[in-house]
Amino acid sequence: MVFLGAAPLTTLLSQSPFWFAIYWIACFFLVGFVLLLAVYDLIAIRQEHRQRMNKLEQELSDAAEEARQLAEEAKKSE
C-alpha cells in the first residue's frame, strides 16, 4: 500500500487532501491491526509454552516419584 500511495496513486492523492488523509489513515490502521495480531500471537505462544512446560514438569515429578518408589521396593526386597 505504501508503494501504491507513493507511485501509481500519487497524482490522485496529491489532488485532494481528503483522499490523501483517508488513504494514509487506512494504511496506518492496517499497520496497527497487523501489530496487534503479532502481539496477540506472541501472547498465545507464550501461554501455550507455559502450559507445556507445566505439563512436562508434572510428568517429570511423577516419574521421579515412581523411580523413588521402585528404588525403595528394591531395597526392601534385598
Range of the domain at 47: 2-77
C-alpha to C-alpha distances, 10 to 16, 18, 27, 30, nearest whole angstrom: 10, 13, 15, 20
Of the pLDDT bands very low, low, confident and very high (cuts 50, 70, 90), residue 5 is low
Quick one: pLDDT at residue 41? 98
Residues 7-52: pLDDT tens digits? 677 777 788 888 888 888 998 999 999 999 999 999 999 999 999 9
Residues 56-71: pLDDT tens digits? 999 999 999 999 999 9
With cell 505439563, the residue in question is: 55
Gyration radius from the chain CA atoms: 29
Angle of CA points 65, 60, 76, to nearest 5° = 20
Length of the chain: 78
Count of structural domains within the chain: 1
27 touches 19 (CB < 8 A): no
